[in-house]
């Protein structure tokens, strides 16, 4: 496994490979990330993983400085998976001083996470576009865990005619149902005990949907009520939307997806569940 730090060295190393599957990450890797890597490995000649905590997608007051990092451990995990190249660029090379261009997505990027975290998806769309141009993968892998991110990426890839196939990989969960996340380490023991209620709340909406409930308000209330029953009082949002446009739909259709965001003391967690599946 080769580590490339400069853009030039990455381009050079990439040119020796055939079809590339690409997994962009911010590091502090867990089984969820590795499930993307395994899928990429199975479907391509070679796999490139990037590790870059992208300052542009963190708002003022968010956790850029304290975002967990563990490069040495990440490298060992990726070597074990048989990854070909790990790209770990420096922020100064990605955003040099004269840098003034952004990729800004309207529509799907404006609701939920877009509304709660202004500028977040512009940061995501900009870095992912840059990484696609640098790595030039045939396929790129993203987690369903970040459902809105997947929708935003599919939108701008289509809109900007970027020649890459976007693959969405199912959410990887801990045994108790909590979606794996680099930020889970920042939950205190009491919060960690409560956190599986996020998945329970989504499952509650899914179960009502599968019994025939199609009223968005009823389903969203069921999510909020389940969180409250599990002593989670502060909820950023609990919504049912269309998975492509992220517009609220009522009555809810078969493709509807339930999403929520819950702030804990040191970490804000998000999760989602398509209503018709599982």
Active-site positions read: 33
Residue at shortest CB range from ligand AMP: 143
219-222 own/partner pairs: CB under 8 Å, 24+ apart: 219/252, 219/258, 219/275, 220/258
- Taking CB under 6 A as the binding criterion, the range among 24-32, 70-78, 241-249, 255-263 that sits at the site for ligand AMP is 24-32
Residue 35 annotated as binding site: no
Residue 31 annotated as binding site: yes
Going from the C-alpha of 46 to that of each of 3, 37, 39, 81, the distances in angstroms are 14, 10, 11, 12
Q: How far is the CB of 214 from ligand AMP (least distance, A)?
A: 28
Residue 271 annotated as binding site: no
Residue 148 in contact with ligand AMP, rule: CB under 6 A? no
Q: In what order do the strands lie in the sheet with 20-25?
A: 2-4, 85-87, 46-51, 20-25, 139-143, 165-169
> Distance between the two ends of the chain, CA-based, in angstroms?
37
Q: How far is the CB of 141 from ligand AMP (least distance, A)?
A: 7
Residues 123-142 that bind ligand AMP (CB under 6 A): 142
Q: How far is the CB of 213 from ligand AMP (least distance, A)?
A: 27
Residues 151-180 that bind ligand AMP (CB under 6 A): 169, 171-172, 179-180
Q: Which residues 6+ apart lie within 8 Å of 220 measured at CB? A: 205, 238, 239, 240, 258
Residue 57 annotated as binding site: yes
Residue 90 annotated as binding site: no
What is the DSSP-derived secondary structure letter of residue 200? Answer: H
Nearer of residues 37 and 232 to ligand AMP, judged by Cβ: 37
Nearer of residues 111 and 148 to ligand AMP, judged by Cβ: 148
- E strand residue ranges, the chain: 2-4, 20-25, 46-51, 85-87, 139-143, 165-169, 237-241, 257-263, 268-274
Compute the distance between CA of residue 163 and CA of residue 161 in angstroms, rounded to an integer: 6
Question: Binding ligand AMP by CB under 6 A: which of 10, 20, 34, 36?
Answer: 36
Residue 84 in contact with ligand AMP, rule: CB under 6 A? no
Q: How far is the CB of 155 from ligand AMP (least distance, A)?
A: 15
Residue 26 in contact with ligand AMP, rule: CB under 6 A? yes
Residue 111 annotated as binding site: no
The secondary element (H helix, E strand) that includes residue 183 is none
Residue 182 in contact with ligand AMP, rule: CB under 6 A? yes
Residue 41 in contact with ligand AMP, rule: CB under 6 A? no
10 Å CB burial of residue 80 (0-12, 13-18, 19+) is exposed
Binding site for ligand AMP (CB under 6 A): 25-26, 32-33, 35-36, 142-143, 145-146, 169, 171-172, 179-182
């Amino acid at each position: 496994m080769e580590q490339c730090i400069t853009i030039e060295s990455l381009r050079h190393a990439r040119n020796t490979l055939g079809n590339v599957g690409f997994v962009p990450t911010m590091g502090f890797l867990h089984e969820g990330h590795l499930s993307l890597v395994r899928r990429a490995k199975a479907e391509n000649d070679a796999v490139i993983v990037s590790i870059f905590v992208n300052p542009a997608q963190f708002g003022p007051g968010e956790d850029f400085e304290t975002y967990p990092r563990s490069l040495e451990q990440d490298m060992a995990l990726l070597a074990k998976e048989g990854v070909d190249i790990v790209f770990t660029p420096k922020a100064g090379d990605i955003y040099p001083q004269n840098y003034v261009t952004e990729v800004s997505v309207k529509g799907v990027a404006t609701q939920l996470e877009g509304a709660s975290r202004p500028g977040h998806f512009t940061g995501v769309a900009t870095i992912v576009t840059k990484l696609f141009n640098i790595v030039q993968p045939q396929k790129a892998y993203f987690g369903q865990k970040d459902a809105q991110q997947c929708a935003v990426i599919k939108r701008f890839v289509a809109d900007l005619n970027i020649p890459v196939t976007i693959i969405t990989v199912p959410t990887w969960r801990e045994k108790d149902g909590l979606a794996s996340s680099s930020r889970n380490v920042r939950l205190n023991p009491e919060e960690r005990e409560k956190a599986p209620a996020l998945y329970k709340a989504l499952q509650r909406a899914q179960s009502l949907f599968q019994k025939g409930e199609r009223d968005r308000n009823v389903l969203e209330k069921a999510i909020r009520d389940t969180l409250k029953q599990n002593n989670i009082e502060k909820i950023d949002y609990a919504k049912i939307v269309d998975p492509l446009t992220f517009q609220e739909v009522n009555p809810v259709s078969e493709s509807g997806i339930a999403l929520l965001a819950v702030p804990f003391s040191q970490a804000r967690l998000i999760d989602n569940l398509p209503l018709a599946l599982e």
